[in-house]
Amino acid sequence: MIEKFEKIHSSGDFIELLKRSGNYPQQVLSGISNNKALEIPQGTTVLAFHYRDGIIVAGDRRATAGNSIMYDRCDKVIPIDDYSLMAIAGVPATAFEMARMLSHNFEYYRRSQLRAMSTEGKVRALSKLLKDNVAMALQGVGGVSPLFAIYDTQQEKAFLYFYDMLGAEFQILTHVATGSGSPMIKGILEHENLWGISSLGERSEEEATSLSIRLLQTAAQFDSATGQARPEDKLYPTIAKITKEGYQFIPDDEMATIYKSSMSRS
């Protein structure tokens, strides 16, 4: 038993440690896939794209279950460590658990191996969690389609990845969106990148943040599951950036100013 623990500990794999110790979260909920009365909250819409200094990650705040609005202040952009963010579309309960496990996994590796996990290792760790979650995704009770943004301090470069619900990972070189509102804004992102005032990768932080707000407001116009910003209630999208300084969220007081200027026709 001690030898098994030492072997797992030496690998720095926190998820494998949970599995071997019998503490890994249950992946299959028996009998619930046919329960049509069960309404699982879903979160949408999230987007991310490369800009001049790094990557912008943004999401609306609404969580729905069927035709019901369950919550209007859901945070869908989640910090994992100092240099990585995960944005979620799908079931928040599953996504939040994945985010916690990823965070613990990265920290466990750092402490046990006395060095930070590589970018490739972090990217594949999320893929592994999604693959382990396939059973719940196929039952319709735990599907998650996340975005993952990370700054590699060794390469001095930001990386962006999209994952499907089965765990396949795709590196994104320009822009990506997922969730029920994403079809309404993918074309806009492509148009902005090709024929906008400048390509997305050349835009300033102010320009990138302003575009993110407009995109999410556009998605909300056509998708009832995507929540609109409500300045009167001090409710704005969640927007964060990943740069060489790590992750940083745009605070609400700045969001109020950016939102006002973004919605202007001038």
* Main-chain phi, psi angles of 158, to 5 degrees: -95, 140
CA angle 214, 219, 223 (to 5 degrees): 155
Query: Which tokens go with 52?
Result: 């001049």
In a domain, 144, yes or no: yes
Collapsing DSSP to helix, strand or coil, 185 comes out as helix
Q: What is the CATH number of the domain that holds 144?
A: 3.60.20.10
Per residue in 169-212, pLDDT tens?
999 999 999 999 999 999 999 999 999 999 999 999 999 999 99
Collapsing DSSP to helix, strand or coil, 92 comes out as helix
Per residue in 8-41, pLDDT tens?
455 678 777 766 766 666 444 444 444 444 567 7
E-only strand ranges, the chain:
42-43, 46-51, 54-59, 63-65, 68-71, 77-81, 84-87, 147-152, 157-163, 169-171, 175-178, 238-243, 246-249
In a domain, 26, yes or no: no
In a domain, 21, yes or no: no
For residues 75-90, give the mean pLDDT.
96
Which residue in the list 44, 45, 64, 238 is annotated as catalytic? 44
The amino acid at 264: S
In a domain, 33, yes or no: no
Model pLDDT, residue 35: 47
Give the list of residues 6+ apart from residue 216 with CB closer than 8 angstroms, or none.
45, 47, 58, 59, 60, 181, 185, 226, 229, 237
In a domain, 35, yes or no: no
Domain hosting residue 154, numbered range: 2-11+42-262
Provide the mean pLDDT of the chain.
89
Active site residue 178: no
Model pLDDT, residue 67: 83
In a domain, 182, yes or no: yes
CA-based nearest residue to 100, from 40, 199, 14, 161: 14
Instruction: Give the Cα separation of 239 and 260 in Å (integer).
Output: 15
Per residue in 33-81, pLDDT tens?
444 445 677 778 999 999 999 999 999 999 988 888 989 999 999 999 9
pLDDT: which is higher, 35 or 159: 159
Percentage of the residues of the chain whose pLDDT score is greater than 90: 73
Model pLDDT, residue 37: 47
pLDDT: which is higher, 139 or 106: 106
In a domain, 100, yes or no: yes
Q: How many domains does the chain have?
A: 1
